[in-house]
């Protein structure tokens, strides 16, 4: 799971602040430039094809900086993606010891990754590649920009060592362990080769006890390459295979847009509009909750922001309207993951990058399945609303005046998804250019039209909040490429595919097993981690069973959306428990009805492919 925006754990010590002032400033600059550069191309294209020379190269380098500097911010606020199993530890000494162990291992792994990235920078320095730059005929060396990798990873390692304990003795012990790892690697490398599997077990144990997922993946990749006598810089080299992805910059841009909306007054205006639209219907307030949460999740990517930002608004409305406490808690918790299949959802884009499936096809195919899940939740809300009405509750009266007023107040937020979809669907802009337009649109609306966010005093802080999630996702994806490369070279996916084909002979049975597996993984892994880890393995299996890759992607994402609610450690369960101060066992009981009806929806999505690929065929895709 991931800690919601700005909710750094109170027991997470921060490293000295001055070290992070410059990275923060550079990160804000990189984000703003990443939003401006694609728009220059998009606007300049119809004006005679004007563009900035080397624009794509600069955008790739900016994405690199956002990934690694965002990783620094995520380490500082403990927003790196971790397994939910760490939350099961008791407060006090058990959790302190687990943090000391897991963060010490994390510091050592990240320090070695920093060393590996130095090797990459040296190799690229010798290659002599340059970036075009005004008034510099030969351009500027590309390796200058790549230096952000070892510097950022060193800062992350320092933060992990500093966060291993509240006491200086624990922090010094963590730093000493890092030094010991380098000493053994330098003076007795054969010892490390002999101890590869015990070390791998230590790394996995650290992940179970709270170390970020990217640490586990990076540590395993380093070990496996080292075991085969391959330079550990091979792990860092795989980052560039990812940076070359043409859709990758859309992830930080859309993340920033979602956080800007969340920090402004968008949530209040959207809730008011949907309440005016649905409030007078049977179960209208419940339908409103499902609708507004779906829209909000579409832009915030299911990172937990929806429950944190909207929970305090919609939960009291449900209670005031006469809904029972249990139903209200279950509805808000379930609705926090709706909308993940709609454009411009970040998980869809991430799956597109990892699995190599066109993002536009996934978005089109996800429209009906996404609507089905919303309708199922809304229908359950209508059922509860009718029961409430029979008990004597009075619904608010419909008002055309309030509907018009609330629509006018929320017109800019309601227009944002329309702008993105129209730009992308009509071919006027690429996905990255549409994402840049969304980011700039959100800034203009919240800072200059609605004036909810001060462009100088508050906007940089909002961008830094969003950077934690950006860094967590992009750094995980970058480091995971190293492990994926090793697994492919070692023929692991092929061997796994052979085993599955020999054990399972029916595509229907394969899909059922996949549903169960993804449901369980979705409750333990944060959705971005699950996509990065599982999609490269699942995609070839689906192809072997003749399952359309787009349909498989929708099944994959719909199952992970359901995993948010799956006990005992689904992300939405923890966030709702924290937000509403309710014990987890009581939430389990309240979300079961929603888990069951959404489960029916996922089965329909799985076994009725016409809902997804059928739409593509109708459109000639």
Assess whether pLDDT exceeds 70 at residue 17: no
pLDDT at 621 over 70: no
Domain check: are 391 and 526 in the same one?
A: yes
Neighbours of 516 (CB within 10 A): 10
Of residues 444 and 483, more confidence is placed in 444
The model's pLDDT over 70-96, given as tens digits with 9 standing for 90+, comes to 999 888 888 787 775 666 666 778 888
254 plus 238 within the same structural domain: no
Task: Decide if 23 is inside a domain.
Answer: no
Same domain as 597, residue 561? yes
Predicted confidence at residue 156, as pLDDT, reads 93
- Give me the pLDDT at residue 3, please: 40
User: Which of 243, 263, 286 is at the close of a domain?
Assistant: 243
Are 258 and 238 in a shared domain? no
- Check whether residue 315 and residue 408 sit in a common domain: yes
341, 345, 350, 356: CA torsion to nearest 10: 60
Confidence of residue 370 (pLDDT cuts 50, 70, 90): very high
Q: Is residue 2's pLDDT more than 50?
A: no
322, 391, 529 from 50: Cα distances, Å: 59, 66, 39
Q: Are residues 214 and 295 in the same domain?
A: no
Q: Kindly state whether residues 295 and 225 are assigned to the same domain.
A: no
pLDDT at 394: 67
Q: Do residue 588 and residue 546 come from a single domain?
A: yes
- Residue 605 CA to residue 369 CA, distance in Å, equals 6
Average pLDDT, the chain: 83
Residue 395 maps to a domain: yes
Residues 272 and 323 reside in one and the same domain: yes
Least confident of 40-54, 407-421, 488-502, 542-556: 488-502
Asked if 145 and 62 count as a contact pair (C-beta separation under 8 A), the reply is: no
Model confidence pLDDT, tens digit, residues 493-533: 667 767 777 788 888 888 888 888 888 776 666 677 778 87
Residue 4, pLDDT > 60, answer no
The pTM assigned to this predicted structure is 0.79
Looking at 182-196, 234-248, 250-264, 496-510, which range is the least confident one? 234-248
| Percentage of the chain exceeding pLDDT 70 | 89
Q: Which residues pair with residue 265 across a beta bridge?
A: none
Q: How confident is the model at residue 356 (pLDDT cuts 50, 70, 90)?
A: confident
Domain count, the chain: 2
pLDDT of residue 6: 38
Q: 367 and 239: one domain? A: no
Asked which of 187, 219, 243 is the last residue of a domain, the reply is 243
* pLDDT at residue number 525: 67
Residue with tokens 């449900």: 318
- On the question of pLDDT at 293 being above 70, the answer is yes
The answer to whether 249 touches 38, Cβ cutoff 8 Å, is yes
Q: Read off the pLDDT of each residue in 12-23 and give the average, rounded to a whole number.
A: 62
DSSP summary character for residue 304? S
| pLDDT-derived band at 175, boundaries 50, 70, 90 | very high
Structural domain includes residue 62: no
CA-only gyration radius of the chain, Å: 24
Burial 186-204 (b: 16+ CB within 10 A, else e): eeeeeeeeeeeeebbeebe
The predicted pLDDT at position 85 comes to 62
* Structural domain containing residue 288: 250-453+491-618
Q: Is the pLDDT of residue 277 over 80?
A: yes
Measured over the CA atoms of residue 337, residue 341, residue 343 and residue 345, the dihedral's sign is positive
pLDDT at position 305 is 66
Is residue 556 domain-resident? yes
Please check whether residues 331 and 220 belong to one and the same domain: no
Does any domain span residue 468? Answer: no
**Choice among 180-184, 455-459, 518-522 with the minimum mean pLDDT:** 518-522
The pLDDT value given to residue 131: 80
Answer yes or no: is 300 within a domain.
yes
The reported pLDDT for the residue numbered 400 is 92
End of a domain among 219, 243, 267? Answer: 243
Position 10 scores a pLDDT of 38
pLDDT digits (tens, 9 = 90+) for 322-347: 888 889 888 988 888 888 898 888 88
**In this structure, are 222 and 302 located in the same domain?**
no
Residue 406 has what DSSP assignment?
Answer: H
pLDDT higher at 421 or 362: 362
Taking only the tens place, the pLDDT of each residue in 578-613 is: 677 777 777 888 888 999 999 999 999 999 999 988
Please tell me the predicted confidence (pLDDT) of residue 8. 40
Domain assignment of residue 65, yes or no: no
Using pLDDT thresholds of 50, 70 and 90, give the confidence band for residue 13.
very low
Residue 310 lies in a domain: yes
């Amino acid at each position: 799971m991931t800690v919601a925006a700005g909710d750094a754990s109170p027991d997470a010590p921060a490293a000295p602040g001055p070290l992070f002032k410059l990275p923060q400033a550079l990160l804000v600059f990189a984000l703003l430039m990443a939003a401006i550069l694609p728009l220059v191309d998009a606007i300049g294209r119809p004006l005679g094809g004007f563009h900035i020379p080397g624009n794509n190269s600069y955008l790739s380098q900016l994405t690199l900086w956002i990934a690694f500097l965002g990783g620094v911010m995520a380490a500082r606020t403990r927003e790196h993606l971790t397994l939910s199993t760490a939350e099961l530890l008791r407060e006090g000494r058990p959790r302190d010891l687990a943090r000391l162990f897991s963060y010490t291992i994390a510091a050592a792994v990240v320090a070695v990754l920093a060393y590996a990235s130095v090797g990459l920078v040296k190799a690229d320095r010798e290659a002599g590649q340059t970036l075009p730059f005004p008034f510099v005929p030969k351009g500027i060396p590309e390796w200058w920009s790549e230096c952000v990798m070892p510097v950022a990873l060193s800062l992350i390692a320092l933060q992990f060592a500093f966060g291993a304990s509240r006491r200086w003795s624990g922090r010094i012990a963590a730093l000493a362990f890092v030094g010991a790892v380098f000493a053994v690697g330098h003076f007795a490398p054969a010892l490390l080769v002999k101890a590869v599997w015990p070390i791998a077990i230590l790394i996995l144990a650290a992940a179970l006890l709270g170390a970020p997922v990217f640490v586990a993946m990076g540590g395993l990749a380093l070990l496996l390459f080292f075991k085969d006598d391959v330079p550990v810089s091979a792990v860092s080299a795989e980052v560039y295979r990812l940076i070359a992805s043409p859709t990758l910059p859309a992830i930080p841009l859309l993340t920033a847009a979602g956080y800007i909306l969340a920090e402004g007054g968008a949530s209040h205006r959207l809730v008011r509009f949907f309440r005016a639209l649905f409030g007078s219907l049977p179960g209208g307030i419940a339908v409103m909750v499902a609708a507004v949460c779906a829209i909000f999740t579409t832009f915030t990517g299911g990172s937990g922001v929806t429950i944190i930002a909207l929970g305090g608004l919609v939960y009291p409305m449900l209670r005031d309207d006469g809904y029972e406490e249990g139903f209200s808690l279950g509805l808000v918790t379930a609705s926090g993951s709706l909308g993940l299949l709609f454009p411009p959802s970040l998980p869809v884009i991430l799956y597109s990058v990892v699995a190599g499936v066109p993002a536009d096809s996934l978005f089109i195919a996800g429209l009906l399945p996404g609507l089905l899940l919303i309708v199922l939740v809304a229908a359950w809300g209508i059922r509860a609303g009718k029961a409430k009405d029979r008990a004597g509750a009075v619904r608010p009266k419909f008002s055309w005046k309030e509907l018009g007023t609330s629509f006018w107040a929320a017109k800019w937020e309601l227009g944002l998804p329309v702008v993105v979809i129209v730009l992308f669907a009509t071919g006027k802009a690429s996905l990255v250019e549409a994402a840049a337009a969304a980011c700039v649109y959100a800034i203009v609306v919240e800072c200059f039209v609605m004036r909810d966010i001060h462009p100088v005093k508050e906007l940089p802080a909002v961008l830094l909040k969003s950077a934690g999630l950006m860094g967590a996702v992009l750094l995980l994806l970058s480091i995971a490429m190293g492990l994926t490369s090793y697994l492919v070279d070692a023929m692991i996916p092929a061997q796994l595919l052979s085993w599955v084909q020999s054990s399972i002979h029916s595509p229907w049975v394969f899909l059922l097993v996949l549903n169960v597996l993804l449901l369980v993984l979705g409750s333990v892994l944060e959705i971005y981690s699950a996509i990065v880890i599982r999609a490269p393995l699942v995609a070839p299996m689906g192809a072997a069973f003749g399952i359309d890759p787009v349909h498989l992607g929708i099944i994959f994402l719909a199952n992970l959306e359901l995993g948010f609610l799956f006990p005992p450690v689904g992300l939405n369960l923890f966030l709702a428990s924290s937000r509403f101060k309710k014990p987890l066992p009581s939430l389990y009981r309240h979300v079961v009805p929603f888990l069951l009806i959404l489960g029916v929806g996922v089965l329909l999505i799985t076994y009725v492919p016409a809902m997804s690929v059928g739409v593509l065929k109708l459109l000639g895709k």
